[in-house]
Structure 1
């Protein structure tokens, strides 16, 4: 742990007592060591050395240091109060490190990773030519092995003593992340305090998943520079992990004691992508006579129709219902929504948050889960069952940030080659001044376009309300299913009645005219199948509803996983191309 955060004497006389940099408490050194450098009094996370980080994250006995030894450089012949080579030599003598990053291979609960860990003690963890080279070589090792690449950052930024050559390391490492993206290799960033400048503006924020320790600061410009520029004090908590999480810039904040377990869960759900196999792919489930008049979704002649998934595909098998009664039932506050289903259909789930542009929409819940032992990206609408929960989730109305978060997760699913499941229950996209100022229409259209072209299987399920383009943004899928008590419409019945009938009280008539219920939507070819509900609707038995949903998803994914990427996208195109008003 750094002498900047915990007081300790020289190495020849190990400290028995240390002072917490957070609260000032004097603590027994062995106690704070047992707590992984976290103050037991105030929770302040003190800095760790690279070696301490590696021991805390990787399985004992699994660590293999990567044999990389880049050449030293002094491209500018730089001298401030001390010549750069002398300053670097002093850092080596003090820390015992070759450079400000240590790169190793190892395992996290048995899962292989390549790990690059920065050490702030070495010239403030600054990004030099050697550091950039070491990180790039470690990333190339991950690329060669097709193993996840995990970066633990702690840096003040680019190393000034190397001038523009240090700046070029930002480009080199960013290009590396692009190559890992193209190859489908997971990249995880663990942000520790502090992470600023060129490191923050390159590999630390380009990862697929960004996790931070409590209180860790991340930003391009440091707080002193910002305050000097704007000439006013910064808000409390500015640039901290918690601040960043609330603004959709990172995925999670986890205490140090939980980091290893959280990383293990993430590696488990993503590693399963390359390990899982789907049995019985030849016994594909039916896909005939569905959306589109040209049969673009047919599986071909001779495919055996297996109804084990319990999905109804014959409109005549569904009872006729009053569409207005269906609308009111679909809005029942007790109906399960995405958060209720996730714990019942996924054995593991790692939530991912934020649009990476400054916001995190509470109405959109998404992340990677294990479904029948295989990874899936699940994106759903969060609603809630009480007035407080509904308000916190913006009543299930996604903002532009929500659709951009969904788009980010869809792109990650495409990179990792895993299916996308969407669970939809929304009255529509969020209206209002802020939504329009932030490009609601653009966010929805981009999500529709992206989903229509995804090279992975996609299954959308309307679990309650399917409101307008806000629902379609998550429903441009290979298979669109809906629960029997759900509805799907171009506009709310009240909105249609007010606009076209001139009287919002005529909503029941509008609902009938719009044909929003499951039976009529199946007859129109808008959905591929209908999932029956337990007696009393899904609101009466969440467990039974989840079992029905699981069976339907299992069937759809078994079928779709058997198709290659070109066939998936071609059939999706043919389906949506075929819709007409005849």
Structure 2
């Protein structure tokens, strides 16, 4: 029951019912859990004011005053006049519109936010709401501060007709201007987010975070089922469904949202030292080797076997051991989240970076779950999305290569595997930020190169890099897979030969018995090598980086004499052709 105070104001009830599990909850206990049901985990809706209070640093919030009101330009009446609906919503919520715009800080990092309040006509997108979101973007643009958009909406406001529809275009182009200016945008999806909001600003941000079970979609479940009579799967349009299909970056419970937001804001500030420690340094660690003569000759086939050993550190293990922090971002935003490629925002000492890498597995089961690190087209498109984010924010890119090759299946071909690889190669060549690649295990063919068009290409001492696997080469050229050891030797795929040929710029020495024998030491050496490379490259401007990188790859195969040059291949004037087609 509710109580009325002596002043006549209505106080909130002491007990509330969870709409999901129907449990009676003591209100003060519910407030302590940030209005998340302690029994079933349902995230109850928050007002805009409650959301702002939970996310921002206390005492830093300033309203961004915009006297914006929706008006009944159509004279629209359904069961009652639209003007009357607006008046009642304003009286009941104390808000002028369904969006509240503020500026403040999160962990000291500046932030502008536009927060939707579902109580105001279901958070519908009308002219007033669209104008406020647009002005929030313009405020962020003027200040150069990141923008947070918190969505809670049933869709477009029908009572405003086509004017409501135009808000989708207006807000979307405002987000586009922030992209052009290199300003970070973050979307927080809360339940529900549908229609015009979902099809505009809510899904156009650099990073999309969703609360557990939050629903997002263009058309709601009931509309779909009634319109096309299609049976929809359980969990359809929930955050969990969206994550599986690569449409959101992460799901975070309300208790973790502020911390996640802070890490993203810190990771997206280029050229600013982070709070992380510089990491462990062993003064006896060997430097990156750049002279082939300093490396011993190895048996190429043995090296191939070592590069494939299951116990070697994976990308995720290097991220845990060599980096100060990593926040994984999921999905290609086109319907897939390939597990063979991982990536996200990270800190390496004082450098914020974007990391992308092939991910094998620490166990047989994980190896299978990661598709043996053979990416689908969606994996390469996820990588491309992260490369573009790095370019937008001015962050260095670090890539880890460890794959036998891109996945060769039917679905991969149907989805454009070759095109996805080609697009990545072209994209990386033109990134206006430092790019460093480390080959940690197998560097297999175009599946590896799609993450390896870098300013500096490093390789672990027992890793390999080749146009094809030795088994594939021997099957094609000798018609005998048993000739794989010979093919390995002829392909010159080990670190020493690759350094001699100029394909890689340096070799990171592994522990005496290989990286698999001492993950900690291997990670320390990788950290040292990557920090040094980023430090060297970060003093060079973007256009110069692009020019040098393109010149680097332009030089391969550009020799004029029939001898091995630094790029490994020479071009002669002989116009004859072998009977065997080139591979």
Contact 1:309 1:554 in 2 (8 A): no
Post-superposition Cα deviations, 1:339-398, rounded to whole Å, max 9, x if no partner, equal 111012221211111000000011111011111122001111111121111011111111
Is 1:216 matched up with 2:214? Answer: yes
Alignment of 1:59-70 (within 5 A): 59-70=57-68
**Structure 1 residue 309: Cα displacement:** 7.8
Is 1:536 matched up with 2:513? Answer: yes
Q: Distance in 2 between matches of 1:373 and 1:574?
A: 29
Q: Partner of 2:45: helix, strand, or coil?
A: coil
Alignment partner for residue 460 of structure 1, among 420, 437, 444? 437
Residue range with higher mean Cα deviation, 21-30 or 482-491 = 21-30
Q: Distance in 1 between matches of 2:230 and 2:137?
A: 41
Q: Distance in 2 between matches of 1:369 and 1:464?
A: 22
Q: Partner of 2:473: helix, strand, or coil?
A: helix
Q: Distance in 2 between matches of 1:517 and 1:317?
A: 14
Is 1:23 matched up with 2:21? Answer: yes
Alignment partner for residue 255 of structure 1, among 248, 253, 256? 253
Q: Which residue of 2 aligns with 1:566?
A: 543
Alignment of 1:342-381 (within 5 A): 342-381=319-358
**1:379–1:309 Cα change, 3 Å:** farther
Post-superposition Cα deviations, 1:526-564, rounded to whole Å, max 9, x if no partner, equal 111111111001111111111111121122111111111
Q: Which residue of 1 aligns with 2:581?
A: none
Q: Distance in 1 between matches of 2:296 and 2:434?
A: 31
**Structure 1 residue 72: Cα displacement:** 3.6
Contact 1:248 1:353 in 2 (8 A): yes
Alignment partner for residue 275 of structure 1, among 272, 277, 301? 272
Q: Distance in 2 between matches of 1:44 and 1:317?
A: 61
Q: Partner of 2:511: helix, strand, or coil?
A: coil
Contact 2:401 2:437 in 1 (8 A): yes
Residue range with higher mean Cα deviation, 562-571 or 10-19 = 10-19
Q: Cα RMSD over matched residues?
A: 1.5
Post-superposition Cα deviations, 1:166-201, rounded to whole Å, max 9, x if no partner, equal 111110110011110111110000000000000000
**1:188–1:428 Cα change, 3 Å:** same
Q: Which residue of 1 aligns with 2:47?
A: 49
Runs of 4+ in 1 over 4 A off after TM superposition: 7-11
- 5+ residue gaps, structure 1, are 1-6, 278-306
Q: Which residue of 2 aligns with 1:109?
A: 107
Q: Which residue of 2 aligns with 1:100?
A: 98
**1:309–1:448 Cα change, 3 Å:** farther
Q: Which residue of 2 aligns with 1:548?
A: 525
Post-superposition Cα deviations, 1:310-356, rounded to whole Å, max 9, x if no partner, equal 11111111111111011001001111121111012221211111000
Q: Which residue of 2 aligns with 1:229?
A: 227
Q: Distance in 1 between matches of 2:232 and 2:293?
A: 64
Q: Which residue of 2 aligns with 1:290?
A: none
Contact 2:367 2:373 in 1 (8 A): yes
- 5+ residue gaps, structure 2, are 275-283, 558-568, 571-583
Post-superposition Cα deviations, 1:179-230, rounded to whole Å, max 9, x if no partner, equal 1011111000000000000000000000000000001000001111100122
**Structure 1 residue 474: Cα displacement:** 0.2
Alignment of 1:173-322 (within 5 A): 173-271=171-269, 273-276=270-273, 310-322=287-299
Residue range with higher mean Cα deviation, 129-138 or 236-245 = 129-138
Is 1:495 matched up with 2:472? Answer: yes
Q: Which residue of 2 aligns with 1:125?
A: 123
Q: Partner of 2:258: helix, strand, or coil?
A: helix
**Structure 1 residue 275: Cα displacement:** 2.5
Q: Distance in 2 between matches of 1:76 and 1:431?
A: 56
TM-score by length of 1: 0.92
Q: Which residue of 1 aligns with 2:386?
A: 409
Q: Which residue of 2 aligns with 1:517?
A: 494
Residue range with higher mean Cα deviation, 69-78 or 316-325 = 69-78
Is 1:476 matched up with 2:473? Answer: no
Residue range with higher mean Cα deviation, 402-411 or 565-574 = 565-574
**1:309–1:558 Cα change, 3 Å:** farther
Q: Distance in 2 between matches of 1:64 and 1:503?
A: 73
**1:166–1:18 Cα change, 3 Å:** same
Contact 1:309 1:555 in 2 (8 A): no
Q: Partner of 1:69: helix, strand, or coil?
A: coil
**Structure 1 residue 402: Cα displacement:** 0.6
Contact 1:309 1:552 in 2 (8 A): no
Is 1:398 matched up with 2:395? Answer: no
Tell me: higher relative CO, structure 1 or 2? Use CA pairs within 8 A at least 6 residues apart. Answer: 1
Q: Give the aligned length.
A: 546
Contact 1:8 1:18 in 2 (8 A): no
Q: Distance in 2 between matches of 1:576 and 1:554?
A: 23
Q: Partner of 2:268: helix, strand, or coil?
A: helix
Q: Partner of 1:114: helix, strand, or coil?
A: strand
Contact 2:182 2:393 in 1 (8 A): yes
**1:486–1:8 Cα change, 3 Å:** farther
**Structure 1 residue 27: Cα displacement:** 1.3
**1:500–1:8 Cα change, 3 Å:** farther
Contact 1:250 1:354 in 2 (8 A): yes
**Structure 1 residue 75: Cα displacement:** 2.0
Post-superposition Cα deviations, 1:108-149, rounded to whole Å, max 9, x if no partner, equal 111110011100110010011111111111111111111110
Q: Distance in 2 between matches of 1:60 and 1:276?
A: 24
